[in-house]
């Protein structure tokens, strides 16, 4: 990735802000002053201290069998990772720069930039329409898909420091973040009812891929997609019963996967898949408001991934072979968060990867299919702009050479935001 343009953009934003602040001070009578048009700008910093009872070097070798490759293997296949809370010791998880404003009577524009030690990335850059009739809205650009419940939320809004395992397994550590278009429609009903669909390029690191590949000898070749490669559809509904709010949703993502794990290298385990992939989601959130500063929230999501297609791999002498592969994998998370004062929350989360069926060339792989993780957290929010969180994870999903490696983690996370940062949704 060429980082220079992004750095230049960031610089020019900062310089502009600085200049307009100066112009305002210098003269109120500049007929061309544009200082009132400065968009909302905010910066969020997330850092943590992690203690893990496993050494970093050992941890990097662990995998979640059939679902998440070891960090080492991923980087060997060219995936650079800025994963959050990944190392024992201090972690700089991200600095997030958010710029947002209304473009004109027809559009709002949002830019969310992630600055990590690896580079400057456009996390999101999208527009929203403001004036479509009949309850329609179009979103376009790069954005976090509205698939599921937690996917479109930014990390600093989550109730726990890390992403639910099933999301990480199916979409990687950045979630389903895609380039494309979304249309959604809110029904004019007394309760909340929303339908939407997305047409996306389909370049997810784990489940969908648009880039083709070929092996070293050129004997096999899968061409790149020439059109959007991924479709999603979603529906949400919500209603209140007294002080209880119920929000339920279903969604699906359907696309083609072209995933190359080193078939174009001389690595003996290099392989690639070209398959149809389908991920389904059902989610439910219940929030009971006890009083202004106290509430209890239960949130759960279930995901199922089904794929079927071609597997390209190498035989013992390095010749590329074509076989078939199919997967049927499921996972869920359930969490309970109790906000017991204006400033404090506690929460528990149960993550479970519960179905892990991979059939390769008609033989079923022997994979663990009950992999849980327990997390608990306590959080202090001195104001709405700062948060300190202590979290404990008991992780029974990591394996090394088919042996379970139980992993215990404690992390202390601090998340701060400055500037004009927009409010969050439910």
Partner 1 sequence: MKNIIIILISIILTGSVFADELNVVTTYPYIASIVEQVGKDKVNVFALAKGEWDPHTIIPKPSFIAKLRKADILILNGAQLEIGWLPPLMRQANNSKIQVGTPGILDLSKHVELIEVPTAISRAQGDVHPDGNPHFHLDFKNIPKISTAIAHKLSEIDPVNKATYEQNNNAFLENYYQKEKEWTAALEKLRGTKVIEYHKIYDYLLRRVGLQLVGTIEPVPGISPTSRHIESLEKIISSNDVKYILQDVYHPDDASKYLSSKHNIKLKIIPHDIGAVSNTNNIFELFNEIVRRLIGD
153 touches partner 1 (CB under 8 A): no
271-310 residues in contact with partner 1 (CB under 8 A) are 287, 289, 291-293, 295
367-384: b or e for each residue (b if 16 or more CB lie within 10 Å)?
A: bbeebebebebebebeee
Candidate segments 61-69, 186-194, 202-210, 357-365, binder of partner 1 by CB under 8 A:
186-194
Q: Which phi and psi (to 5°) does residue 19 adopt? A: -65, -45
CA distance 45 to 94: 6
CA distance 169 to 147: 15
Yes or no: say if 96 and 113 are a contact pair by the CB < 8 Å rule.
yes
Q: How far is the CB of 126 from partner 1 (least distance, A)?
A: 12
Candidate segments 214-222, 326-334, 360-368, 378-386, binder of partner 1 by CB under 8 A:
378-386
25 touches partner 1 (CB under 8 A): no
Which of 191, 340, 370, 380 is close enough to bind partner 1 by CB under 8 A? 191
188 touches partner 1 (CB under 8 A): yes
Alpha-carbon dihedral sign for residues 50, 56, 60, 62: negative
240 touches partner 1 (CB under 8 A): yes
Q: How far is the CB of 369 from partner 1 (least distance, A)?
A: 35
The residue among 339 and 349 lying less far from partner 1, judged by its C-beta, is: 339
Which of 114, 236, 258, 261 is close enough to bind partner 1 by CB under 8 A? 236
211 touches partner 1 (CB under 8 A): no
Q: Which phi and psi (to 5°) does residue 237 adopt? A: -140, 150
Sequence-distant (6+) residues with CB within 8 A of 154 are 96, 112, 123, 144
380 touches partner 1 (CB under 8 A): no
Q: How far is the CB of 35 from partner 1 (least distance, A)?
A: 15
Reference 304, options 352, 376, 366; nearest CA is 352
426 touches partner 1 (CB under 8 A): yes
The residue among 130 and 394 lying less far from partner 1, judged by its C-beta, is: 130
The residue among 28 and 105 lying less far from partner 1, judged by its C-beta, is: 105
Candidate segments 60-68, 174-182, 190-198, 363-371, binder of partner 1 by CB under 8 A:
190-198
404-423 residues in contact with partner 1 (CB under 8 A) are 418, 422-423
CA torsion 309-327-201-99 (nearest 10°) is -160
Q: How far is the CB of 293 from partner 1 (least distance, A)?
A: 7
46: enclosing H helix or E strand? strand 40-52
- The size of the interface with partner 1 (CB under 8 A), counted in residues, is 48
Which of 29, 31, 36, 190 is close enough to bind partner 1 by CB under 8 A? 190
341 touches partner 1 (CB under 8 A): yes
Yes or no: say if 170 and 217 are a contact pair by the CB < 8 Å rule.
no
4 touches partner 1 (CB under 8 A): no
Q: How far is the CB of 122 from partner 1 (least distance, A)?
A: 20
The residue among 162 and 335 lying less far from partner 1, judged by its C-beta, is: 335
DSSP state of 404: E
The residue among 142 and 339 lying less far from partner 1, judged by its C-beta, is: 339
Yes or no: say if 246 and 238 are a contact pair by the CB < 8 Å rule.
yes
Which of 193, 220, 267, 286 is close enough to bind partner 1 by CB under 8 A? 193
261 touches partner 1 (CB under 8 A): no
Q: How far is the CB of 326 from partner 1 (least distance, A)?
A: 29
SS (HEC) of 204-262: CCCCCCCCCEECCCCCCEECCCCCCCEEEEEEEEEEEECCEEEEEEEEEEEEEEEEEEE
Token pair 């669909």 is found at: 197
DSSP state of 292: T
133 touches partner 1 (CB under 8 A): yes
20 touches partner 1 (CB under 8 A): no
Which of 20, 153, 201, 238 is close enough to bind partner 1 by CB under 8 A? 238
Reference 422, options 44, 21, 59, 1; nearest CA is 44
Which of 105, 117, 316, 362 is close enough to bind partner 1 by CB under 8 A? 105
184 touches partner 1 (CB under 8 A): yes
Alpha-carbon dihedral sign for residues 131, 228, 168, 285: positive
Helices (H) and strands (E) in the chain, counts: 4, 21
Task: State the residues that interact with partner 1 by CB under 8 A.
Answer: 102, 105, 108, 128, 130-137, 184-194, 236, 238-240, 245, 247, 287, 289, 291-293, 295, 341-343, 382-385, 418, 422-426
């Amino acid at each position: 990735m060429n980082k220079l343009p992004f750095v230049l953009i960031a610089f020019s934003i900062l310089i502009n802000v600085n200049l307009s602040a100066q112009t305002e001070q210098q003269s109120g009578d500049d007929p061309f002053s544009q200082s009132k048009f400065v968009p909302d700008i905010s910066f969020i910093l997330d850092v943590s201290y992690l203690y893990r009872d496993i050494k970093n070097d050992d941890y990097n070798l662990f995998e979640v069998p059939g679902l998440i490759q070891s960090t080492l293997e991923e980087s060997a296949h060219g995936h650079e990772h800025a994963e959050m809370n990944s190392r024992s010791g201090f972690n700089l998880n991200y600095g997030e720069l958010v710029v947002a404003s209304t473009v004109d009577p027809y559009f709002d524009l949002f830019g969310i930039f992630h600055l990590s030690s690896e580079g400057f990335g456009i996390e999101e850059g999208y527009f929203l329409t403001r004036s479509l009739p009949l309850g329609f809205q179009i979103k376009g650009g790069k954005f976090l898909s509205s698939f599921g419940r937690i996917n479109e939320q930014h990390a600093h809004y989550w109730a726990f420091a890390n992403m639910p395992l099933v999301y990480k397994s199916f979409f990687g550590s950045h979630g389903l973040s895609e380039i494309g278009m979304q249309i959604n429609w809110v029904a004019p009903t007394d309760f909340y009812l929303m339908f939407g669909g997305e047409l996306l390029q389909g370049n997810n690191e784990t489940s969908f891929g648009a880039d083709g590949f070929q092996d070293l000898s050129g004997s096999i070749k899968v061409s790149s997609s020439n059109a959007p490669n991924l479709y999603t559809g979603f529906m949400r509904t919500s209603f209140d019963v007294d002080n209880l709010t119920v929000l339920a949703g279903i969604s699906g993502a359907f696309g083609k996967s072209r995933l190359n794990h080193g078939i174009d290298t001389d690595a003996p385990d290099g392989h690639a898949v070209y398959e149809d992939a389908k991920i389904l989601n059902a989610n439910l959130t219940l929030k009971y408001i006890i009083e202004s500063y106290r509430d209890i929230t239960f949130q759960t999501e279930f995901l199922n991934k089904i794929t079927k297609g071609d597997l390209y791999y190498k035989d013992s002498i390095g010749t590329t072979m074509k076989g078939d592969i199919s997967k049927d994998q499921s996972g869920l998370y359930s969490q309970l968060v109790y906000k017991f004062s204006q400033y404090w929350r506690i929460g528990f989360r149960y993550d479970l990867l519960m179905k892990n069926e991979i059939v390769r060339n008609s033989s079923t792989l022997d994979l663990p299919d009950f992999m849980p993780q327990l997390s608990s957290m306590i959080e202090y929010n001195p104001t709405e702009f700062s948060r300190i969180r202590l979290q404990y994870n008991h992780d029974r999903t990591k394996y090394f050479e088919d042996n379970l490696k139980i992993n215990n983690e404690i992390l202390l996370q601090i998340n701060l935001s400055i500037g004009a940062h927009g409010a969050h949704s439910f």
